[in-house]
Structure 1
Amino acid sequence: MLWGDHTGSLELRSDGGTTRLTARFPYGRETEIAAGRREVIAPRAFRTRIEAGDEIHLLSGHDYEKPLASRSAGTLTLTDSDDALTLEARIDGATTWARDFLSAHAAGLIRGLSPGFRVPSGGERIERRGADILRTIASAELFELSAVTRPAYSEAQIEARNWQPVGEVAERVVAHHLNRWRL
């Protein structure tokens, strides 16, 4: 059965017990963090740790006790461009929190993507706009990306797709063991 859902730019596809997730965090989009406090992340603000190949995790709800994928495990790939940070992750449903995430996403409860980062000295610019403050992040150390219920940046969304062979196709897949290894 082919199942698909699109609510922005996070996409999940399942093959066997592993689900492939793709997501996009757009740069240059201004958002309101709190009343009178706005923020924008400049293009390639996360480039330092990404280009260095440093460890970065995909988490459920910013919780390091609920990892979904990581660069060191070979299950998380990040691509940085002037427009957006995109990710591709392979999520194994063998853990309870991964199954919880996949179920919550299927129910429409988790649709957002949120970066976890630290801004080094000199990595931000603060400016006043009347009574409001705009923080522009030009450089930040990205440590994790999280699937969340309410992202600060509304355009940073996730999507899921689940592929399950049916009928004759399913029989062919089961009949030959090498057919189970689709990359």
Structure 2
Amino acid sequence: MLWGAHSGGLELRTEGGETRLRAIFPYGRETVLGEGLGRERREMVAARAFADRIERGEDVHFLSGHDFNKPLASRSAGTLTLTETDEALTVEARIGADMGQVSYVRDFLSAHAAGLVRGLSPGFRVRPGGETVEERGNAILRTIRAADLIEISAVTKPAYPQAQIEARNWQPYDEGAQRSGRRPAAALRWR
């Protein structure tokens, strides 16, 4: 699974023992994820890239730090709402008073209050044909156009705009292989 993130999008409010979270992951913004082999690696998530699973109402989890052992909300529990526009994915989660008694939830809320957890990071799988990779001078740009959103997390160090994602291969494969339907060896594909 891949992760991309955006910093500064988390807003928390507590009323009557329930905490409400609102966050925005903007679309169409290029970010530099790092350099490899002397080339700058850039990535962008296109508008409505996560639309398929969201529109079908499939379950998505809101997690602390991409850890499925630390769920904060989910669509199936009725505590997570995802809204997609051409500009952004908006995440709204409700953390009930009963969940506020769970140790990792208290840790998350305390870390957010201290200003340590401010980023938003979607965990996704790119669908077949759902990405483009292009060379731009001394840079490579990967654009995610269609991906299955599995989870979205509150994180300390998001990949968007400055953290690096290590689970990707940054070497595009040639267009001839794309046209012929041949896929590169696993070591040469984006993960």
Q: Same fold (TM over 0.5)?
A: yes
- 2:159 pairs with 1:152: yes
1:41-88 deviation per Cα after TM superposition (whole angstroms, max 9, x unaligned): 000000000000000000000000000000000000010000000011
Distance 1:91 1:111 in 2: 17
Q: CA deviation at 1:34?
A: 2.1
The 4+ residue runs of structure 1 with deviation greater than 6 A are none
1:47 paired residue among 43, 46, 51: 51
What aligned pairs does 1:13-24 form with structure 2 within 5 A after superposition?
13-24=13-24
Letter in 1 for 2:88: A
1:117-151 deviation per Cα after TM superposition (whole angstroms, max 9, x unaligned): 00011000000012211000000000000000111
1:150 is paired with a residue whose SS is coil
- 2:136 pairs with 1:129: yes
2:76 paired residue among 72, 77, 85: 72
| More displaced 10-residue stretch of structure 1: 54-63 or 33-42 | 33-42
Letter in 2 for 1:124: E
Tell me which residue corresponds to 1:161.
none
CA contact (8 A) 1:44 1:82 kept: yes
Letter in 1 for 2:90: T
Tell me which residue corresponds to 1:34.
34
CA contact (8 A) 1:112 1:154 kept: no
CA contact (8 A) 2:9 2:120 kept: no
Distance 2:156 2:25 in 1: 15
- How many residues align? The count is 149
Once the two structures are aligned, what percentage of the paired residues are identical? 66
Tell me which residue corresponds to 1:3.
none
CA contact (8 A) 2:9 2:118 kept: no
Q: CA deviation at 1:40?
A: 0.2
Tell me which residue corresponds to 1:179.
none
Question: Structure 2 stretches of 5 or more lacking a match?
Answer: 1-6, 163-191
Between 1 and 2, higher relative CO (CA 8 Å, sep ≥ 6) is seen in: 1
Question: Structure 1 stretches of 5 or more lacking a match?
Answer: 1-6, 156-183
Q: CA deviation at 1:116?
A: 0.2
1:89 is paired with a residue whose SS is strand
Q: CA deviation at 1:108?
A: 0.6
Letter in 1 for 2:22: T
Letter in 1 for 2:24: R
- 2:147 pairs with 1:143: no
Give the structure-1-normalised TM-score: 0.78
Letter in 2 for 1:120: R
Cα RMSD of the aligned pairs, angstroms, is 1.4
